Amino acid sequence: MNRIFLMLLLFVSLSSINVTGQAAKNDQCFICHEAIGDKTAQLYPKDVHFKKGISCAGCHGGDSRLEDMEASMDRNKGFIGVPKGNKISDACINCHSNEKTMKGYNSNLPTDQFDKLTKSVHGKLSTTGAELIVQCITCHDIHQIRSANDPSSTVYSVNIPKTCSKCHNDAVFMRTYNPALPVDQYIKYRTSVHGMLNAKGDSKAADCKDCHGSHDIKSATDIRSKVYPVNLPKTCAKCHSDKKYMSGYKIPTDQYEKYSESVHGIALLQMNDPGAPACNDCHGNHGSSPPGVESISKVCGTCHALNAELFSNSVHKAAFDKHNYPECESCHGNHEIITATHELIGINEGSSCINCHKEKDDPGFQAADLMRTLIDSLDAQNEFAAKLIYEAEQKGMEVSEAKFLLRDVKQSRFEARTLVHSFDTTKFNEGVRRGLSIAAEVSGEAKGAVDEYYFRRFGLVVSFILISVLIVGLYFYIRKIET
């Protein structure tokens, strides 16, 4: 039934394509409706479809050539009146999903928008259960549909945030679909760098569609979504890594490159750990903006809580604030954060400490030296214990207990590394000592196992000799009784 209807509509619409843009002039629907002051008809001349010569009948059906009202709006001739629900989008896809028809209008528009829409988060049934949540006109407007490149279009970059927020800002409406979804994206967006540029009419700044997609929007928790954590960096990089595109903005374009080699980028992009931070976890998403110098430790602290807490209570907090040094970033960098090695502290080249604590009699310089020595010794002890365990295992000894304890050494090492951020040598020393004492216990046990191994050999030699004595004795005894 539906198909017959569509074909009929197609026929009608094809027959109404009167080749030239002049068509509307012969469009009896338009002529009449405009004459009687119909508001929708008055809007239509600005519509891109009017300009392409498409009659009212293109969507509404009927015969636009006939002057007679009854005859032109005859339901038998395919007139459908005002379409409702999915019929609305049906009228659009009639042409927009048909490559041939679209070619006929010299259009290069893709023809898969509706297909994408039905697979998107908006392509589900609405609360009534009778239609999709979103129809084409929800975003593209009715009777005054413009090309997306037309600054007055509802889907022109600068206007998109408003268009989307029509629903997404409406708490009452949104809770009927997803009560947990925030409705403040628009407000946040306007505080972001993107949103502010957008408000100034910059169509290059990211709007909703640049991150979420347009017809194919997926829920952010959908693994195929452009904003799913694992996919997000690529989405941001689409613009931010494009030198030409970003040329007017005076910011670097190597963040993605740096990020993807950072400890976070490797965790997220290579190890697929969705818990690892993507761009938005530090910069915010809708309100995206580089974190301020003094808030870096708070942002990093959402995951690195202890480090941030220790730092905030340390002597460095006030000092950094005073000199306006970015907190974590000063030592760890930002996009290129690599796994922190012990090279970062101490007084050797490559250490961050000596950037400020340059003098030998500076207590900071001495503290840095001490901390480096301590953490290095813990590392060495940890390695030593692990080696001994390995050796014992290679000798076939059972050292599962020591191996279990080695976990605690590793944990202490973690803790000690965290304690660096207190920049308090007493506290740090305590932490390291704890690790060292467990490491000593582990080494002791592993050593015992290795010793046991040698004891076995010794025992073997003794018993071997004793039994051999008996063998020799027996040999001589047999000789004796046989002579």
Given candidates 76, 247, 400, 426, which one binds another protein under the rule CB under 8 A? 400
Question: With contact defined as beta carbons under 8 Å apart, do 226 and 208 qualify?
Answer: no
Q: Which stretch binds another protein (CB under 8 A): 69-77, 127-135, 335-343, 408-416?
A: 408-416
414 sits near another protein (criterion: CB under 8 A):
yes
The whole-angstrom separation of Cα 298 and Cα 17 is 62
Measure CA of the first residue to CA of the last residue in the chain; give whole Å.
120
Q: Which of 81, 85, 363, 473 binds another protein (CB under 8 A)?
A: 473
Contact 8, 40 (CB under 8 A): no
CB of 24 to another protein, least distance (A): 59
Contacts 24+ apart (CB under 8 A), 430-439: 432/374, 432/375, 432/377, 432/378, 435/378, 435/381, 435/382, 435/409, 436/377, 436/378, 436/381, 438/405, 438/408, 438/409, 438/412, 439/378, 439/381, 439/382, 439/384, 439/385, 439/409, 439/412
Q: Which is nearer to another protein, 217 or 392 (CB)?
A: 392
CA of residue 94 relative to chain centroid, distance:
36
Contact between 390 and another protein per CB under 8 A: no
For residue 476, state whether it binds another protein (rule: CB under 8 A).
yes
Closest CA to 136 of 161, 112, 111, 117: 117
Q: List the interface residues with another protein, window 140-179 (CB under 8 A).
A: none
CB nearer another protein, residue 4 or residue 470: 470
Backbone angle region of 40, left / alpha / beta, with phi > 0 → left and psi within -120 to 50 → alpha? alpha
Choose, by CB under 8 A, the member of 403, 409, 413, 450 that binds another protein.
403
* Longest Cα separation, the chain: 146
Residue whose CB is less far from another protein, 37 or 396? 396
Find the binder of another protein among 242, 359, 383, 398 (CB under 8 A).
Answer: 398
In the complex with another protein, which residue's Cβ is closer, 28 or 231? 231
List binders of another protein among 237-296 (CB under 8 A).
273-276
What tokens does 97 get?
């999903």
Nearest Cα to Cα of residue 46 among 145, 128, 161, 127: 145
**For the residues of 186-213, what is the DSSP string, one character each?**
HHHHHHSHHHHHHHTT-TTS--HHHHH-
Phi, psi of 143 (to 5 degrees): 60, -10
Residue 180 binding another protein, by CB under 8 A = no
Output the six-digit token pair for 55: 């009659």
Q: How many residues bind another protein (CB under 8 A)?
A: 48
Q: How far is the CB of 182 from another protein (least distance, A)?
A: 17
Q: Which of 86, 253, 418, 425 binds another protein (CB under 8 A)?
A: 418
Q: Which is nearer to another protein, 76 or 483 (CB)?
A: 483
Q: Does 181 bind another protein (CB under 8 A)?
A: no
307 and 301 in contact (C-beta within 8 Å)? yes
Nearer to another protein, 218 or 413 (CB): 413
In this complex, which beta carbon is closest to another protein, that of residue 71 or of residue 467?
467
330 binds another protein (CB under 8 A): no
Residue 407 within binding range of another protein, rule CB under 8 A? yes
Minimum distance, C-beta of residue 437 to another protein, in the bound complex (Å): 17
Bridge partners of 125? 132
Amino acid at 112: D
Q: Nearest distance from residue 378's CB to another protein, in Å?
A: 17
Percent of the chain that is helix, strand, coil (3-state, to 5):
65, 0, 35
Which of 3, 39, 243, 480 touches another protein by CB under 8 A? 480
Whether 96 contacts 102, CB under 8 Å: yes
| Residue among 109 and 460 whose Cβ is closer to another protein | 460
Q: Which is nearer to another protein, 19 or 481 (CB)?
A: 481
- Least spacing, CB of residue 338 vs another protein, in Å: 16
- Residue 266 DSSP label: I
Show the binding pattern over residues 449-468: x = contacts another protein (CB under 8 A), - = does not.
Answer: -------xx-xx-xxxxxxx
Residue from 67, 70, 349, 482 in contact with another protein (CB under 8 A): 482
Nearer to another protein, 68 or 401 (CB): 401
Q: Provide the β-strand partners of residue 132.
A: 125
CB of 370 to another protein, least distance (A): 23
Interface with another protein in residues 297-326 (CB under 8 A): 301-306
CA distance 18 to 41: 19
Q: Does 359 bind another protein (CB under 8 A)?
A: no
Q: Which residues bind another protein (CB under 8 A)?
A: 273-276, 301-306, 396, 398, 400-401, 403-404, 407-408, 411, 414-415, 418, 456-457, 459-460, 462-483
